[in-house]
Structure formats: structure tokens, C-alpha cells
Amino acid sequence: MSLLSVRDLTVTYDTQRGPVRAVDGLDLDVPAGSITGLVGESGCGKSTLGRALMGVLPDRGKIAAGEVIFEGQDLQTFSASARRALRWRRMAFIPQTAMNALDPVQRLSAQMAEILIERGGLSGREATARSSELFRLVGLDPARLAAYPHHFSGGMRQRASIALALALNPSLVIADEPVTALDVIVQRQVLDVLRELQARLQLSMILVTHDMAVVAYACDRVAVMYAGQIVEAGLAAEVLERPLHPYTMGLTHAFPDVHDSQMSLVPIEGSPPDLHTPPPGCRFAARCPFADARCNNEPPPSRPFGPDHLVACWHAEDATTLRGRAADPQTWAAIA
Amino acid sequence: MTALLQAEGLQKTFHSRGREVHAVQNVSLSVSPGEALGIVGESGCGKTTTARMLLRLEEPSAGRIMFDGADITNAHGRHLIAYRARAQLVFQNPFDALNPRFTIRRSLTEPLRNFAIPVSEHQDRIESVMRRVRLVPAESWLDRRPHELSGGQLQRVVLARALISGPSLIVADEPVSMLDVSVRAGILNVLRDARDSLGLAALYISHDLALIRYVCEQTIVMYLGRIVEQGPTAELISRPAHPYTRALVAAVPVARVEQNREGLPIRGSLSDAPPDPSGCLFRNRCPSVMPRCATEAPTLRTIAPGRMVACHLEGAM
Amino acid sequence: MLYWTRECPSVRSASRVLRFLRHEPFAVAGGAIYFVIVVVAVFADELAPYDPRAILKLGSRIARYQPISAQHWLGTNSSGRDVLSQVIWGTRSALEVGLTAAIAVVAIGTVLGLLSGYLGGWVDRVITWLADIVLGLPFLPFMLVLAALTHPGTGIVVFSVAALLWPNTARVIRAQVLSLRERAWVEAARVTGCSTTRIMFVHVLPQVLPLAALYGSVAIGWAILAEASASFLGFGDPTAISWGVMLQEAYANQALSRGAWNWFAPPGAAIMAMVLAGFLISRGSERLLFPKLADQ
Ligand SMILES: Nc1ncnc2c1ncn2[C@@H]1O[C@H](COP(=O)(O)OP(=O)(O)OP(=O)(O)O)[C@@H](O)[C@H]1O
Ligand SMILES: Nc1ncnc2c1ncn2[C@@H]1O[C@H](COP(=O)(O)OP(=O)(O)OP(=O)(O)O)[C@@H](O)[C@H]1O
Ligand code: SF4
Ligand SMILES: [Mg+2]
Ligand SMILES: [Mg+2]
């Protein structure tokens, strides 16, 4: 059974131009003990989804419909305080700007103690011991607990915020772009920390990123998000090797590969739809080289292909031929 | 072949709060006409400072810069303007690279005016450069202001502005790191295409070797302000000589599920205090450190035609 | 996905100005006062019931010391002139002095702030040093000495205000320019061949003008107060119709012992309103310019 299961989730923001559905009828399952990569381009709603799951949406955002089942319980039925009690203890969040989200004027030991004592009910002494343990866990020297965040490099701050998230042994950690602003070497080190902790503590993790290579390196599973919806989800090996959705196919050709000098990158032309007025059919249709009349008019439902692979595309049956065509830059250039 | 751009012994020392920061030390490089050279390295290793010195946006503390046979290290006034017309920069952050009050047309006209290109040519030049960066029809973009454009579109305008004076050299400092994945490929392709069809020389700066691989045939690896390795990109990636380059290559993730997930061949982090400069600056992180590394600073030596490395390891390959 | 913000700074500052108008009642009140004064000054001809210089007659006698009445809403003064009309016409000279001084302050402060912020180095040191000296000069004595040494009049007032008030403007402009010069598009201007002068005046200046205007609005109030003080002390232009001259006349004719508050209260209130307006706007502008500071 899934640790987390999201059904038909819709999150709206109130804006001057009216409500915008940043997450729109989204389904997602996160099995226990896995790292799920959530990929998609800027503005597709990754952070919104993460925040909605944690119950920490900004003021103008609200869950308009759907349910979030976590450890068998529907979180929508929880009171605000019950929800709060869950945070940190059962599920933890590493916000997108974690590096800057640490309190700059408090020592890390104090920030750690605040969570451990106030949220976790530990004694001062226990908190100190646990803080040191957590720092060691993420590969930081416990002697540096007395430091302020600005004494740390970007990678170290990211590790510290991971340590904070793990403070109360949550079973689910949602990490919003934990490596985006980091150098490759530091990125690799942080990903290794996450992978190792996941294996050691049997955590589940949602790792938000926009980099397919990060997914390939660190995740067991992947969910590809486009314009507020999951368009493809499944085992990372499966989705990356045999993508069924044209958008995923496009993404796999959009990254250069260090070991391949022959490849030519294929941009996905155009830009995502305005979420104030989403198109009636498939949201990707305007950028999709394979779109036909049905794509433009009817939204494709999410359908299973194989044991653990979901896709929302009318042409998923033809994926094998489409993959071949998607590798050709001319196919995508026609959209521009 | 004579080099288009050549730098010898570039050095930059910043003085901040009584401390000396040796941002760039003894960097020499050369770019031939039509060639693309990449500079990689971790954050803070001096890539941007090097590029800014080459473009005369930062005064070198020491060293010499030659462009097309002329010494431009101290060029000013008319000579500096002439150099600027031929050596252009693509900025990292497209959201900040255009004057927010100027329309696209005005931003593109600025260099034309400053480089004294006859007004009769302006319209043609603007249209052809907009075609090159694939913002067509030009008229539908020219009267907009930056806040009306997406990141990818802005970066295309920034590119257009760099190309409009007909330069021979383009320097691009992390040209796509702030852009969305789906538009990165488009920008890289425009850059590649401009180079091929206009015969531009290019200097790319990035901490992403995969990107450098895509656009550059030659690569320089920097560590703490110094060049530690240089050579043809493909060889440097397939057979890295310097232990730091090895770590850098190993750290780049690839979009395939089967890949190397072994621990990186590097210790510590960049923020650990660099060792005193009497020996190799990498020795506190190097997995192959030897006693000699602490006493003697390695200098760049040639290990194969066109390949140089600054490391004491004998069988560096 | 990344940490940049989509909004460009000018858009942001424009929307900030709007938000500020909505959320800063003080500043809006200050702006309203200025607005009323401008309207009164422009339509002084139509609004004033009498010629402010005319010596009014009551039958054959000069209409001195008239109390408040339907004919004279604020009475008449010791020389038989209508007080209300004088107050109304006084807005004109007040605005003339205020605006000229403010424009001078803004022009000097902006240019010096721009030079010192953008060029840095010795230019910055010299200008900062000058500003420190000027800030140390006491205003009134400076003006009075100047007036005593030369020919008294509004010219001296405007000059003193401009000479002593520019450092405030220069300082904020300098700070703003220091942050602007780090922006990539300023560097881009260099790369695309702009001369330093062109970068300063074509690229950077338009960005700081709104800020300069705000500081100018504060200078208006200051200049009017200065003019009133100078006139009151007899260093102004005695033939002008101004609030300062009205106060001076009231004082010379023992308005206080006569209980003729209608001679000094209206011009006094008008001066206070102007100074207050400048103060309110500057208080509000602090929040606009240093939002973080005000939020704490
Ligand atoms: N104006 C300056 N004053 C003081 N130190 C500076 C200045 N500019 C750069 N430095 C320092 O010089 C070193 C090199 O900086 P540089 O920006 O060239 O690195 P980089 O390789 O471009 O890094 P990144 O990948 O983060 O852009 C850093 O240690 C930096 O802190
Ligand atoms: N507080 C808010 N008020 C109104 N709209 C918002 C708010 N936050 C986000 N949005 C909108 O919701 C959509 C999804 O935003 P979100 O931040 O979740 O995207 P994302 O996938 O995390 O993007 P990125 O990769 O840039 O972090 C966007 O269109 C955004 O403009
Ligand atoms: S449903 Fe149609 S438009 Fe949408 S991705 Fe599939 S083929 Fe493309
Ligand atoms: Mg996000
Ligand atoms: Mg840099």
C-alpha cells in the first residue's frame, strides 16, 4: 500500500486575474521506502504540490478539492492542530530556498533544539545529543552546531536543512529542489547523503527537481508534472528508458550528456499554457508534435501501461514509434 | 594559426576587509578564430573574474591580454570601444541583463549607436539578428519591454544584443543556468549555430561539464584561481589527468538509470581552508596526495600534444 | 525553480508606489496638502475675494483692524488689507520659493549622488566630505549671514536651501546608485560601448528620478519655512506677499497683545501645513524606500 496517495488534488491561488489552478486534478502515489522524483519545468506546480501535501500553502493558496491519504488517513479531515502535529514528526519539508530559509540570526544548535524540544518533546540534554547525531548523519561536524548559517557554504547549509528535516524521524520527506543552486560536486554529495539516509532509515522521499539527470541518479520512481497535472509516472528505469508521454520524451533530449559528443539537443518549443485559462484538451497539445484533433479537444485520462507505469496521453499506444520521431530535432522544430 | 584572444599570466587579487583574495592566479589561455573554449570549475574558482578581465570589465592585477595581435591590456577610449565591438558578453541572468525601461528595440540600438554603425543599417541588422536568435517576426518583439518576455526569450534578446555589432568573440558566463530546462537546449543551439555560421570564437563558462562538452572543443579546468588542466574536451572527459578533473567528471549525473554511483574521488569541501600555497592547492582534498605535494607547487606541464596538467602524479593519465 | 524574481525593478517600484499610496495614509495626507496648495496657488486670482495689496476703504476711512465678518472671512490687517486674500496669494510665493529651491536641491543632490555613487574613488570621497561639512552648518545662521553680507531677498533663501539641503538627497541617491551599478544591465551598457557619462545619465539616472522627486517634495516644505523665517526676521523681500511677511507685519503691529490671532494664525497654519506635508511624505517614503527597515 502507498504511504501517500493523492487523489484528484486541486490547489488554487487567488490572484488579481481570478483564481489560478496551480495543481489541477492531480493523482500521485508514493510507496513506502522509495525516492520519487517530481520533475517538470518552472511554474508547473511542483512547489505548490509539495506545500499542499505539507499543509503549508501560502495565504492565497488553498486546496479546492481532492484528498491526501497519508498512512491510511485522509489529511483533509484533520484539524489544523492535528495537521500541525504531523509536521516534522511524520512528514517533513525542505523548502525550495532551504539554503536561505534557515534563520540567519540563530545558531544552528538553537534551531535544532527548537524543533527537538518544542515539537519533539525532548529534554535539553537529549536534544543536544540528537543534534550531534543528526549532524553526523548528514556528514557535518557536530562541532559546527554552534555556527550561524552564514558560516556555512551552500552545500553545508543544504545538509543542515536536511538534518533539521530529519530531526523527528519523519516517514516522508519532501525536498523541494534541494540541489538546484549547487555545484556538481556538492550536488552529488548532497544527493548521496539523501540516498544513503533513505536506505538507512527506510524513509520515503519526494525529491522535486527539474533535472532528469538528478532523477536518474537518485530516484527509484519518477512523476513527470506538466501544467498542474502528472502526465507520466512510474519506475525511474522504466520511464527514462521507455517514456510514453511526448513531454517526457522531449525532456530526455533536452539535456546534454557528458559522455556523448554526437548528440544534438532538442528544445521543446513554446511555453506552458496560462493556468488561468487552461486549454480544453491535453495541456501539452500546443507544444506536442503528435497532437491531433482529439488531443486538442478532450483531456487524456491517466491510463496504466504495464504493471507500474501511468501515462496521460491519447497516443501512448504508439509510444515506440513516437520515441523514434521524438529523437529527431525536425519533429519539434515544426512546432515553433 | 594565430590566436584571436590570448592572455598571459593573468592575475587578480581582491582586497576585501583587509584580506587578500587571490581570485585568479597566473592564468594563460588562447582562443583561435572560430574556436570554442570552455572554462569549468567549482563555484568561486575564478571563472567569472577571468572572463571579466578578458573583457576589460575588471582590471587585472598582473598579466597581458592580446586581441587580434594588439595588446589591449590597457586600451581605453576609442581603442577600448573598438575592442568592445568585437568581443561581446552573454550574461548569466537574463532577467537582469536588459535595462528594464528600454524596449527591446532600444536595447538593440544601444550597441549600434555606441559602435557608430550607420543609422541606415540599423533596421537590417536588427532584423537579421532577431532572425538568428529565432525571435520572428521581429516587429512583434521589438516594442516590448523586458518584463513582457520569458526567461528564454530574454536570453535570446541578450544574445541578439551581443551579436548585433558583428563581434569575433563571444564570452558566455553560465548562459543557461538560470533558464528552464525546456528552453536551455534552444539557447545552446542558437549559440552553436551562431558560432558555426558566423565563425565566431567563443568562451563558455560553466560548472557543468556536460554543457561544456556540448559546445566546446577545448576545455580549461580551474581550481582555486589556477588552471589545473587543459586540453581537448573529449579527451579531457574520457581520460581526465588531474585528480580534480576526475572528481568533476565523476560528479556529473547522466540521464540514464545505469550510471556510476560510487563515492566521489574527492574529500572535504571547497569551504575547507585552502592549504598554504607552498604546495598544491588541491592536496587537502586529493585522494592521491603525496609528500611532495605539500612542499612543491605543481606547474602546468605538457603530457600529450595539446594537453597540460598541473599535478605531480607521474602516470597522470 | 530558481531564486530570481520575475518582476523587473521599475515595475516593482511603480507598483510599490501604488501600494504605498494605498497603505500610507500619512503620505497620502501630505500629498493632499500639497495638492490643495497647488490648486489655491494656481487659482489665486479667482479664489481671493480682494486684491491682496489693495488698501481697503470703509467709507472714507481705511478699513484697518476689521474683525472676522462675511465680507472679510479672516478680517483685515493693520494696513487695511484683506487677510484671507493675502494668505491665498501667499501660496503663490510660497510655491515659487518652494519649487525653485526643491528643484535646485534635487538637481544638485541627484547629480552629486550619481557622480559619487557611480564613479566612486576620489570623486566619492570629495563629495561625501563636502556633504559632511554642509550637514554640519546650521541653517538659519548660514542664511542670515549670507543675507547680511549680500542683498536680502528670496534669492538668498532659495540659494541657502539648495546649498544646505542637497546632502540628504545626494546620500540616498548615492546609496541607490551603488546598488544599481551592480546590476548586470549596467555592466551590459559598458560592454555595449556606452561611455561612463551615457551610462550615468541615460541608463542610471531615470531609475533614481522617482526617489529624487520624493526628496524634492520634502525640500519644498523646508524652503517655505526658511523663507518665512527670513521674512519674519526682516531678511526677506519686504514687498512680497508672503506668509513670512504677514507674520512679520503681525508681529510689528503687536498682534499678540491686541489678541488679533486672525493676523498670524492663518499664515502660521499654512506654513505648518506645508512643513507637515513634507514631513508626512518623507516618513511614508521611508517605508517605500527601505521596506525591510519599516517592516521590522
Ligand atoms: N569584487 C570582488 N571583491 C572581492 N572578492 C571577489 C570579488 N569578485 C569575486 N571575488 C572572489 O573571487 C573569487 C572568484 O570569484 P568568481 O566570481 O570569479 O568565481 P566563479 O568561478 O565565477 O564562481 P561561480 O561559479 O560561483 O560564479 C571568489 O572567492 C570570490 O569570492
Ligand atoms: N503565492 C502565489 N500566488 C499566486 N500564484 C502563485 C503563488 N505561488 C505560485 N503561484 C503560481 O502557481 C503556479 C505553480 O507555481 P509553483 O511555485 O508551484 O511552481 P514550481 O513548479 O515549483 O516552479 P519552480 O520550478 O519555478 O519552483 C505558477 O504558475 C505560479 O505563478
Ligand atoms: S495527448 Fe496528444 S497532445 Fe497530449 S501529449 Fe499525447 S499526443 Fe501529445
Ligand atoms: Mg518550485
Ligand atoms: Mg561566476
Q: Mean pLDDT, 10 residues at a time, over chain A (336 residues)? A: 91 88 94 94 91 89 93 89 87 76 85 89 91 87 87 82 89 89 84 89 92 92 96 95 95 86 82 88 95 95 93 95 90 80
Cβ-contact C190, C203 below 8 angstroms: no
Torsional sign, CA A160, A165, A170, A176: negative
DSSP state of C76: B
Helix ranges (DSSP H) in chain B = 47-54, 77-86, 104-114, 119-132, 139-142, 151-163, 181-198, 209-215, 233-238, 243-251, 291-295
Which of A36-40, B310-314, C188-192 comes out lowest in average pLDDT?
Answer: B310-314
Radius of gyration of chain C (CA): 23
All three cell numbers of A26, joined, read 492531480
Best CA proximity match to B171, nearest among B271, B92, B238, B59: B92
Largest CA distance in chain A: 66
Query: How far apart (Å, rounded) are the C-alpha atoms in residues A176 and A95?
Result: 5
∠ Cα A52 A55 A58 (to 5°) = 75
Asked whether residue C289 carries a pLDDT value surpassing 50, the answer given is yes
User: Distance between alpha carbon C187 and the CA centroid of its chain, in Å?
Assistant: 35
Best CA proximity match to A315, nearest among A300, A332, A297, A298: A300
Do B88 and C191 count as a contact with CB atoms less than 8 A apart?
yes
Nearest Cβ partner for B95 among C1, C6, C203 = C6
Do B100 and C11 count as a contact with CB atoms less than 8 A apart?
yes
Please give the single-letter amino acid code of residue A308: D
All three cell numbers of B168, joined, read 569575433
∠ Cα A161 A165 A168 (to 5°) = 140
Cβ-based contacts of C1 with chain A (< 8 Å)? 41-42, 177, 180, 210
For chain A, where do the domains classified as CATH 3.40.50.300 start and end? 2-90+170-333
Binned at pLDDT 50, 70 and 90, residue C8 comes out as: very low
Number of alpha carbons in the 13 Å side-chain half-sphere of residue C184: 16
* pLDDT at B206 (0 to 100): 92
Q: Which one has a higher pLDDT value, B79 or B264? A: B79
Mapped onto helix, strand or coil, the DSSP state of residue C56 is coil
Verify whether ligand 2 is closer than 6 Å to residue A294 (CB atom). no
Which of A296-310, B36-50, C264-278, C280-294 comes out lowest in average pLDDT?
Answer: C280-294
Nearest chain C residue to A42 by CA distance is: C1
* pLDDT at C2 (0 to 100): 29
Task: Report the number of secondary-structure helices (H) and strands (E) in chain B.
Answer: 11, 12
Enumerate neighbours of C (3 or more CB pairs within 8 A).
A, B
Query: How far apart (Å, rounded) are the C-alpha atoms in residues B202 and B36?
Result: 4
Give the model confidence (pLDDT) of B207-241 as tens digits.
889 889 999 999 999 999 999 999 999 999 999 99
Domain ranges (residues) in chain B: 5-237
Asked whether residue C112 carries a pLDDT value surpassing 50, the answer given is yes
Model pTM?
0.83
pLDDT, average across residues B125-130: 95
**Kind and range of the H or E run holding C209:** helix C205-232
> Could you tell me the strand order of the sheet in which A172-176 lies?
A91-94, A172-176, A204-209, A35-39, A221-226, A229-235, A309-311, A303-304
- Chain B nearest-CA distance from A257, in A, is 5
* pLDDT at C95 (0 to 100): 84
Tell me, what's the ipTM?
0.87
Q: Is C206 on the interface with B (CB under 8 A)?
A: yes
CATH of region C25-289, choose from 3.30.470.20, 3.60.15.10, 1.10.3720.10, 3.40.109.10: 1.10.3720.10
Verify whether ligand 3 is closer than 6 Å to residue A288 (CB atom). yes
Going from the C-alpha of A115 to that of each of A88, A108, A121, A208, the distances in angstroms are: 8, 11, 9, 24
Q: Residue whose CA is closest, atom 31 of ligand 1?
A: B44
pLDDT, average across residues C64-72: 70
- Chain C nearest-CA distance from B147, in A, is 6
Q: Answer whether CATH 3.40.50.300 is correct for domain B5-237.
A: yes
Instruction: Give B43: exposed, middle or buried? Use CB within 10 Å, 0-12, 13-18, 19+.
Output: middle
Do C190 and B57 count as a contact with CB atoms less than 8 A apart?
yes
CATH of region A2-90+170-333, choose from 2.40.50.140, 3.40.50.300, 3.40.1190.20, 1.20.950.20: 3.40.50.300
All three cell numbers of B306, joined, read 595539446
* pLDDT at B315 (0 to 100): 62
Q: Residue whose CA is closest, atom 2 of ligand 1?
A: B14
Q: Residue whose CA is closest, atom 17 of ligand 1?
A: B48
Best CA proximity match to A240, nearest among A231, A229, A248, A228: A248
* pLDDT at C250 (0 to 100): 75
Cβ-based contacts of B154 with chain A (< 8 Å)? none
With the most atoms of ligand 3 within 8 angstroms of its CB, the residue from A283, A284, A298 to mutate is A284
Instruction: Give A8: exposed, middle or buried? Use CB within 10 Å, 0-12, 13-18, 19+.
Output: exposed
CB under 8 Å to B79, separation ≥6 — which residues?
A: B70, B72
Cis peptide before B137 (omega within 30 of 0): yes
Tell me what percent of the residues of chain B surpass a pLDDT of 70: 97
